């Protein structure tokens, strides 16, 4: 294992940097298992400490190991540092320091200490396992897989080694490789509950929810109190459209012993199930689980002042911070006209949105102050703040935008029949209309087929591009690319395989120029796609939207339509694995669209 390559990979990942926060999602529970401070690990560390030739160092190392065993990680940290001041090349001291700092939540320096231990210890495998778990926790699956593979080299029959490598491979969508690792491990350990559970998560990741049930049920047969498998079976049932059954399993999971992080995931999943069933009063209350600090993907707010908890805001100064991912920022912003009206002219409202949205929101809501928020990744967590605010005392309260959901959207009937709330730049709309008219008289249809975030289980939410064939072969329309990110391969495939040109709008960055993207969406005749940032912007600006969605998506709130955008028409699949029917339905509707304009 190359120390240099590990350092290079982790250094870039750990640097404080702006990130695009993804929405919190009700994911599976099938992560890396094991513990750097387990009884087995402690015994191994103690034995290694006693084998140190320097008697004084040996005694201090044993004391540090005992402190780890007792959960006194502050003491273990101090002892390890004292040892390193005496002998900087003492690999075992670096290992103990790494464990202590990981347990104290200091992931950045923990990772550096683990890497030092890897470079100095003659037996790197145990450290590699610890380092792999930390990298996995920090959402660095590529790095985690390298360390897990190293840890597994001489442990082919080890449950932890195989499970963890399979989990990292799954997060990189290398599902076939993950299955092979698990099949080999299960042949040697057929009673391993964790392995059956992880195999089920891989199949769900592939969109094979029905097949995954067999493996979750085998896991539960082996251990009926295995909360992870109850939760994951709920996840699979949700994919299959059985929301009622999923809720039963989710609530069963919450009654069983589980780690704090797993409980946080279960609670958030329960909130989305309630919302999917249309039980909005219960659902929005439970949706507060999205703020749990145990959800490592959830942004933590770094904002001064008093958080709003329902006080009267009349005449106050309030900072509202958009939350979740970019698409959710826009979707939740559909409440802003109602919020501003309810608070009245005496209330000073400041709104913080993603920096690319600032011009669009300032134009749309000229009577309030609009600032950029900043979302940064630091030490394995995501933080959100508002850097342009120098004096937090100028606000009486601050709140996340979604805090208004229970009062303003307590039922589907509370969603207004408002077909737009964002105002694109009229000059840019006119410019794009002229550009589109030059392409000919056919209706212009904008396409979106994926998200930038396609890691792990999220990839199953989008159909393979080949499934768009019946849509793309529909005559009488001109297709416009609205898809952000690298999509050259799909555009080339459409031309070569289907003989269809997808027009690429010139002079626009579809990822960064969101104000202009919104103007372009307002200029086309129709937008078709999966839910992502651009489909939300299009609908918010009043564009006709044909939304491809799963029947029981929680954002549909149990409604037959899409409450957030009344003009949206839903094309529905019952499961993530079958996109044939919605694509056929879209093609049929698109064939008559020119006549219905």
In the structure encoding, which two tokens stand for residue 230, read together?
Answer: 């109850």
pLDDT at position 14 is 34
Of 400, 373, 323, nearest to 18 by C-alpha is: 373
pLDDT at position 312 is 95
The CATH architecture annotation of domain 426-596 reads: 3-Layer(aba) Sandwich (3.40)
pLDDT at position 550 is 85
pLDDT at position 552 is 85
Q: Which residue has 């160092």 as its token pair?
A: 57
Cα–Cα distances in angstroms (integers) from residue 236 to residues 178, 272, 457, 555, 588, in the given order? 18, 14, 11, 18, 31
Q: Bigger pLDDT: 458 or 48?
A: 48
pLDDT of 9 above 50: no
Q: Which residues pair with 480 in a beta bridge?
A: 446, 503
- Residues of the chain with pLDDT > 70, as a percent, come to 93
- Give the mean pLDDT of 6-10: 35
Tell me the C-alpha distance between 32 and 422, whole Å.
43
- pLDDT range class, residue 281, cuts 50, 70, 90: very high
pLDDT at position 382 is 82
Neighbours of 100 (CB within 10 A): 27
Question: Strand, helix or coil at 33?
Answer: coil
Cβ atoms of residues 351 and 332 within 8 Å? no
Helices (H) and strands (E) in the chain, counts: 26, 13
Tell me the C-alpha distance between 541 and 479, whole Å.
20
Triad 188, 194, 198: Cα angle to 5°: 100
Cβ atoms of residues 408 and 338 within 8 Å? yes
Indicate the class that CATH gives domain 31-189. mainly alpha
Rg of the chain over all Cα atoms, to the nearest angstrom = 26
Triad 6, 384, 348: Cα angle to 5°: 170
567 burial class (0-12, 13-18, 19+ CB within 10 angstroms)?
A: middle
Neighbours of 156 (CB within 10 A): 12
- Give the mean pLDDT of 255-274: 95
Q: Which residues pair with 318 in a beta bridge?
A: 349, 397
Cα–Cα distances in angstroms (integers) from residue 353 to residues 87, 328, 389, in the given order? 50, 11, 13
- Sequence-separated (6 or more) residues with CB below 8 Å from residue 38: none
Residue-wise pLDDT for 464-506, tens only, equals 888 899 999 999 999 999 999 888 899 999 999 999 999 999 9
Cβ atoms of residues 477 and 445 within 8 Å? yes
Tell me the C-alpha distance between 49 and 55, whole Å.
10
Cβ atoms of residues 108 and 77 within 8 Å? no
- Looking at the chain, how many residues does it have? 597
Tell me the C-alpha distance between 484 and 530, whole Å.
13
Cβ atoms of residues 233 and 256 within 8 Å? no
Residue-wise pLDDT for 127-171, tens only, equals 999 999 998 988 889 999 999 999 999 888 999 999 999 999 999
pLDDT of 16 above 80: no
Residue-wise pLDDT for 345-381, tens only, equals 999 999 999 999 999 999 999 999 999 999 987 766 7
pLDDT at position 2 is 38
């Amino acid at each position: 294992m190359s120390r240099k390559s590990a350092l290079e990979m982790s250094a870039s990942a750990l640097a404080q940097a702006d990130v695009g926060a993804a929405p919190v999602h009700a994911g599976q529970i099938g992560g890396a298992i094991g513990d750097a401070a387990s009884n087995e690990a402690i015994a191994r560390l103690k034995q290694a400490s006693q084998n140190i030739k320097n008697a004084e160092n040996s005694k201090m190392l044993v004391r540090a190991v005992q402190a780890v065993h007792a959960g006194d990680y502050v003491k273990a940290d101090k002892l390890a540092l004292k040892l390193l001041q005496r002998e900087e090349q003492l690999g075992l001291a670096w290992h103990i320091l790494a464990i202590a700092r990981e347990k104290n939540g200091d992931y950045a320096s923990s990772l550096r200490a683990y890497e030092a231990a890897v470079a100095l210890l003659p037996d790197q495998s145990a450290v590699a396992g610890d380092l792999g778990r930390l990298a996995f926790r920090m959402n660095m699956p590529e790095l985690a897989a390298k360390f897990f593979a190293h840890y597994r080299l001489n442990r082919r029959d080890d449950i932890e080694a195989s499970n963890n490598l399979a989990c990292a491979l799954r997060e990189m969508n290398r599902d076939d490789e993950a299955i092979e690792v698990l099949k080999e491990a299960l042949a040697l350990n057929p009673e391993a509950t964790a392995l059956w559970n992880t195999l089920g998560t891989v199949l769900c990741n592939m969109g094979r929810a029905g097949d995954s049930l067999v493996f979750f049920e085998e896991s539960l047969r082996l251990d009926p109190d295995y909360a992870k498998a109850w939760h994951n079976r709920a996840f699979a049932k949700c994919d299959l459209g059985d929301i009622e059954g999923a809720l039963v399993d989710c609530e069963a999971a919450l009654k069983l012993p589980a780690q704090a992080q797993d409980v946080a995931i279960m609670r958030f999943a329960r909130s989305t199930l309630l919302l999917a069933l249309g039980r909005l009063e219960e659902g929005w209350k439970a949706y507060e689980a999205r703020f749990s600090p145990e959800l490592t993907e959830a942004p933590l707010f770094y904002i001064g002042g008093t958080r709003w908890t329902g006080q009267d805001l009349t005449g106050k100064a309030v900072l509202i911070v958009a939350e979740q991912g970019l698409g959710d920022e826009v979707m939740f912003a559909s409440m802003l006209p109602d919020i501003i009206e309810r608070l009245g002219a005496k209330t000073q409202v400041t709104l913080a949105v993603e920096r690319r949205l600032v011009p669009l929101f300032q134009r749309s809501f000229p009577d309030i102050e609009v600032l950029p928020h900043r979302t940064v990744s630091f030490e394995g967590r995501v933080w959100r703040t508002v850097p342009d605010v120098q004096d937090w005392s100028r606000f009486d309260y601050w709140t996340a935008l979604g805090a208004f959901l229970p009062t303003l959207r307590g039922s589907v009937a509370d969603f207004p029949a408002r077909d737009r709330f964002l105002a694109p730049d009229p000059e840019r709309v006119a410019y794009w209309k002229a550009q589109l008219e030059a392409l000919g008289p056919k209706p212009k249809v904008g396409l979106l087929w994926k998200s930038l975030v396609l890691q792990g289980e999220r990839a199953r939410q989008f159909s393979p591009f080949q499934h768009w064939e019946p849509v793309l072969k529909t005559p009488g329309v001109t297709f416009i690319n609205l898809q952000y990110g690298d999509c050259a391969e799909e555009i080339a495939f459409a031309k070569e395989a289907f003989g269809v040109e997808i027009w690429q709008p010139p002079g626009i960055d579809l990822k960064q120029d969101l104000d202009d993207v919104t103007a372009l969406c307002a200029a086309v005749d129709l937008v078709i796609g999966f839910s992502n940032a651009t489909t939300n912007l299009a609908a918010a600006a009043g564009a006709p939207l044909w939304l491809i969605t799963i029947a029981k998506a929680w954002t549909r709130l149990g409604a037959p339509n899409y409450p957030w955008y009344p003009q949206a028409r839903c094309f529905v699949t019952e499961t993530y694995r079958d996109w044939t029917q919605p694509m056929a339905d879209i093609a049929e509707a698109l064939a008559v669209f020119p006549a219905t304009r």
